[in-house]
Amino acid sequence: MSAFSDPVDALLVEQLLAMLGELRDACRTAPDGHVLKQAEQIAVHRGRELTRKALESVLNEQAKEVEKKGRRHDNVLVAELDRIAAGASGRFSPRPGH
């Protein structure tokens, strides 16, 4: 049984541990002079994905809380949830006029 009561928490920790294993393997097997470059590529790519999943989880929890309380959804939150659910990537760009 997992030490985490929340399955999303357990999944994120599992993915983090997998990323660490991948980083160790890359560092152990990379040719001389390429260790940092290969490890950094993995860290950036997998780190972004892990961060995206964590953000998606937190925003989904927030949306569920809003729904439970019967409050009106904030249009920005809904738009962000849609973007994350679609797997959109890229950097934050503010809304026009802000």
Rounded to two decimals, the pTM is 0.60
Give domain limits for the chain.
7-85
Of 19-33, 34-48, 84-98, the least confident? 84-98
Cα angle value 27/31/35 (rounded, 5°) = 35
What is the spatial distance between Cα 96 and Cα 52, in angstroms, rounded to a whole number? 23
Main-chain dihedrals φ then ψ at residue 41, nearest 5 degrees: -60, -45
- Give percent of the chain with pLDDT exceeding 70: 78
Task: Quote the pLDDT of residue 88.
Answer: 56
Question: 21-30, 39-48, 70-79: which has the minimum mean pLDDT?
Answer: 70-79
Orientation of helix 35-69 relative to helix 75-85, angle to 10°: 140
pLDDT tens across 45-78, in order?
Answer: 999 999 998 888 888 888 888 877 776 556 666 7
| Structure confidence at residue 98 (pLDDT) | 43
